[in-house]
Amino acid sequence: MNNGNSQPAAIHAENLRRHYVMGETVVKALDGVSLEIRAGERVALVGASGSGKSTLLHLMAGLDRPTSGTIETQGHNLGAMSPLELAAHRRSTVGMIFQAFHLMPRMTLEENVELPLRLAEMPREERPARVREALARVGLSARAGHRPGELSGGEQQRAAIARALVNRPAILLADEPTGNLDSHNGAEIIRLIGELNSALGMTVVLVTHEQNLAAEFAERMLVLSDGRLAEERRLAGAQTGAAR
Amino acid sequence: MKSNDLIELAGRNLRESSFRNSLTTLGVAVGVASLVALLSLGAGLQGLVSDRFSRSGLFNTIGVFTARDFRGMQERERRSGVQGDHARPLDAAARKEIGALPDVIEVYPEIRMLTDVTFQGRTLFTSVSGLSPSAKQNEAFEKMRGRFFSSADADEVILHVDFARDLLAPPDTSGDAVSLPVGPPARNAPEVSDAQLDSLLGKEIVLHYGERQETPPPPGESQGAAPTRRAGGADPPATGQQAAAKTTSADGTSGAADETVSFSVVRREKTLRIVGIIETEPYAGITASSNARVFLPVALGEKLRPALPSNLRDLMQARPSASGAAGETYSALIVRVDDPARVQPTQDALKKMGFRTFSLLDATKSLRRVFVIVDLFLAIFGSVALVVASLGIVNTLVMSVLERRREIGLLKALGASDADVKRLFFVEAGVMGALGGALGVVLGWAIGHAINFGTNIYLTRQDLPHETIVLLPLWLIAGAVAFAVGVSLAAGIYPAARAARLDPVQVLRYE
């Protein structure tokens, strides 16, 4: 449950399985994964398409429930939580960014970033400062009043990162955040996530199929194959990890 | 999510598909408008009828009688322990006590007599009745010829138009006195012109009646002798006749403390001026004015002290009816309360005082029941359109769920609970219902006014007075909007549940 320190692991999974029944076929998206991620650690989940990395990320986010095994964040068993508790977990413990950004197209950036604060029922008067702070961290203060359609892909993903940060979660879960970006913008986003990890101390789990990118960013790389943890690599020369 | 955030998000969502949502809202508005128009028509007709009845005075009037007057109730009296012979008399003290009851605005005796009336040398036999000042509110006096009584005890009469026609008819040569049907209107009443009827106003008639005068008991009769009938002589200025009775104990035998009551009936004449002619019967009391043809102020009627049939009945029942010592009793008192709703409590109070009562409260209840049924049917027909409109809401919201799958999935990924998602769709449905309801009330009001306008054009062509047949009471406005919101929320149940069931993993992966 913990790695020798009194502080519980940020994420702990034990013999985690997620099977989907599709007619008579059972698809084993995850099949007995055990892992532990320390608080503040930068971890990359890599693997081919269908290897189970996104499924594992969704289980960490509390968007899905395991078929068997346990998954815990900060010592709390997500499998035992009620739907309301899982919703609270998604609001307060984790922040998510997606490959497709998933910004509300008719909302301005600041309205998009404010959305998690609305869900968390933060008092209205406290929200603007938090939104400004989050947008400043990703360098989009000047674009606060713009709609997503008026921004480049990289800017949209930075806005999505600001939205994920605004509730100050302990864990940032990034699902292929560079998948829709060119290499330059992709590198910028990875650098930004690394900086946030260093500045805020949040645990970051990055799902990617680009092993080079993972190697640049992460302290540790977990390779998934056919729903199993095939390999675990410790990485020394992470790009933004030099500050740590 | 807090309510104000939910409303804000819902409003934003509704604005994003403004054309489709406006059409859906308009559908709700049309449904509510049909409901409001039909129910306001029902309320208007109900108001019209209630107003007529209210102004007739029938529904805030109670007839009060002494308990012994109801022979059919003797068995019940015995069971309840109220013996008629011991029933409380309806005398001046009772009248005063009844007048002091809360909600009672008027108490007056029932005065009705069958007597002769002389007009320009012709004598007609008819029914005369007393009218209270409050009867002026009655619809019968709205379009009368002439006017109402100038004061509560003026020497004036108002005639029913049938009697007025009889007064103007050529004299019957078969005899001196003309006997006329007293009750139902004369169907073969002679034709007279309006000018002839108007010519009666200001003219005088002479009312013949017997005045009741208390007389002291004849010597010796107070000692238990049998009641005597004393033939009256030609007492100037009129002929008098005295009747006397002694009181008897409950078992019917003469008691030791016998008291003889007696009165004389003295023939009198009273000249009265015709001030008005009415077309319809006023029904100012429960029984008093029914089928009467000549009306005089009730206070004048009391002053004249006419011998009424009830006096003779009292005499025969050995009640101190006309005894000055025991005080005057009335055959019936008419009690008016300020509000028809206060009739029942006042009736209860009167019963506690030991009197029998009669009112048309039961008839009012039946009438209300009829209107409730009519309103129910109108509401059902009106609701059909709203139910159809609610299907539009279901359709719009289901479409919205399909279009906003990604948004719903994202909200859930960001921490929205299933309940938050449901509430968001409920608020959207409720906002459409509230807006549609408000717009529908305005439309319904406009339709109602158009119906009213058209009806009054028709009434004008038929030479009838204008009426308000459409009413939009506050309860209907509030009820219609609340109903629209309720139906819309019900329509939102399925789409909201469908939205809440969306799996964010699937949605975010494939959208």
What ipTM did this prediction achieve? 0.90
pLDDT, position B237:
44
pLDDT of residue A240: 44
pLDDT at residue B291 is higher than 50: yes
The enclosing H or E element of A70 equals strand A68-73
Contacting residues of B for A49, CB less than 8 Å apart: none
Which residues in chain A are contacts of B17 at CB distance < 8 A? Answer: none
Q: Which of B187-201, B219-233, B418-432 has the lowest mean pLDDT?
A: B219-233
For the range B339-343, what are the long-range contacts, defined as Cβ-Cβ under 8 Å and sequence gap of 24 or more?
B339/B60, B339/B103, B340/B54, B340/B59, B340/B60, B340/B364, B342/B60, B342/B103, B343/B59, B343/B60, B343/B62
Could you tell me the sign of the dihedral formed by the alpha carbons of B422, B423, B427, B430, in that order? positive
Residue closest to A208 by CA, chosen among A199, A198, A218: A218
pLDDT level of residue A128 (50, 70, 90 thresholds): very high
Residue of B nearest to A111 (CA): B9
Residue in chain B closest to A107 (alpha carbons) equals B12
Say if CB A113 and CB A159 are below 8 A apart: yes
Higher pLDDT, A92 or B76: A92
Q: Write the CB contacts of B8 (distance below 8 Å, at least 6 apart in sequence).
A: none
Chain A within 8 Å of B33 (Cβ-Cβ)? no
B505 touches chain A (CB under 8 A): yes
Q: What is the pLDDT of residue B190?
A: 59
Among A85-94, B222-231, B318-327, the range scoring the smallest mean pLDDT is B222-231
Of the candidates B86, B64, B61, B60, which has an alpha carbon nearest to the alpha carbon of residue B331? Answer: B64
Interface test with chain A among B6, B16, B18, B417, by most A beta carbons within 10 Å: B417
B393 CB-near residues (< 8 Å, 6+ apart)? B24, B27, B28, B429, B432, B433, B488, B491, B492
Q: What is the pLDDT of residue B216?
A: 64
Tokens of residue A169, six digits:
């979660």
Pick the residue of A60, A65, A118, A175 with the most B CBs within 10 A to test the interface with B by mutation.
A118
Judged by CB atoms closer than 8 Å, whether chains meet at A63 and B505 is answered as yes
The 3-state DSSP class for residue A166 equals coil
- Is B410's Cβ below 8 Å from some Cβ in A? yes
Task: Answer whether B505 sits within 8 Å of A90, measured CB to CB.
Answer: no
> Cβ of B442: how many Cβ atoms within 10 Å?
15
| Dihedral sign from CA coordinates of B188, B190, B194, B198 | negative
Give the pLDDT band (50/70/90) at residue B217. Answer: low
The mean pLDDT of chain A is: 89
CB B440 within 8 A of CB B33: yes
The one-letter code for the residue type at B304 is L
pLDDT of residue A238: 52
Query: What pLDDT does B69 receive?
Result: 53
pLDDT of residue B228: 38
Tens-digit pLDDT profile for residues B153-164: 889 999 888 888
Check CB contact of B393 with chain A, cutoff 8 Å.
no
Q: φ and ψ at B288, to 5 degrees?
A: -55, -50
- Closest partner residue to B508 (CB to CB) among A87, A98, A107 is A98
- Beta partners for residue A232, in sequence order: A222
Distance from CA of residue B232 to its chain's centroid? 47
- Size of the A and B interface in Cβ pairs below 8 Å: 61
Higher-pLDDT residue of B76 and B332 is B332
Say whether pLDDT at B7 is over 80: yes
A58, A83, A84 ranked by CB distance to B505: nearest? A58
A239's tokens: 């790009």
Q: Is the pLDDT of residue B233 over 50?
A: no
Fold annotation for A40-65+82-222: Rossmann fold (3.40.50)
pLDDT band per the 50, 70, 90 thresholds, residue B326: very low
Closest CB to B414 among A64, A90, A100: A90
Q: Which residue has the tokens 């139902």?
A: B184
Residue A223 — pLDDT band, cuts 50, 70, 90? very high
Instruction: Measure A48 CA to nearest chain B CA, in Å.
Output: 16
**Beta-carbon count within 10 A of A144 CB:** 19
Contact check, Cβ <8 Å, A104/B407: yes
Which residues have CB under 8 Å from A238's CB, separation 6+?
Answer: A42, A194, A215, A216, A217, A218, A219
pLDDT tens digits, A6-17: 567 899 999 999
A30 pLDDT band, cuts 50/70/90, is very high
From the candidates A114, A115, A168, which should be mutated to test the interface with B, based on the most B CB atoms within 10 A? Answer: A115
pLDDT band at A38 (very low <50, low <70, confident <90, very high): very high
* pLDDT for the residue B364: 66
Residue ranges of domains in chain A: 40-65+82-222
CB of B1 within 8 Å of a chain A CB? The answer is yes
Cβ contacts of A91 on chain B, cutoff 8 Å = 414-415
Rounded to 10 degrees, what is the CA torsion of B188, B191, B195, B199? -50
Contact A52, A227 (CB under 8 A): yes
Task: Give the best-scoring range by mean pLDDT among B136-140, B184-188, B319-323.
Answer: B136-140
Are A102 and B410 an interchain contact pair (Cβ–Cβ within 8 Å)?
Answer: yes
Rounded Cα–Cα distance for residues A221 and A43 (Å): 6
Phi first, then psi, for residue B195 (nearest 5°) are -65, -40
Whether B416 and A83 lie within 8 Å, measured CB to CB: no
pLDDT above 80: residue B74? no
- Would you call B71 an interface residue with chain A, using a CB distance cutoff of 8 Å? no
Please tell me what DSSP assigns to residue B256.
Answer: T
Nearest neighbour of B1 by CB, restricted to A98, A121, A163: A121
For residue A104, the chain B residues in CB contact (below 8 A) are 407, 410
Q: Which residues of A touch B (CB under 8 A)?
A: 54, 58, 61, 63-64, 83-84, 87-88, 90-92, 96, 98, 100, 102, 104, 106-107, 115-116, 118-121, 124, 163, 167
pTM of the model: 0.63
Q: Per-residue confidence at B440, pLDDT binned at 50, 70, 90?
A: very high
pLDDT digits (tens, 9 = 90+) for B268-282: 888 899 999 988 777
Q: How confident is the model at residue B450, as a pLDDT?
A: 92
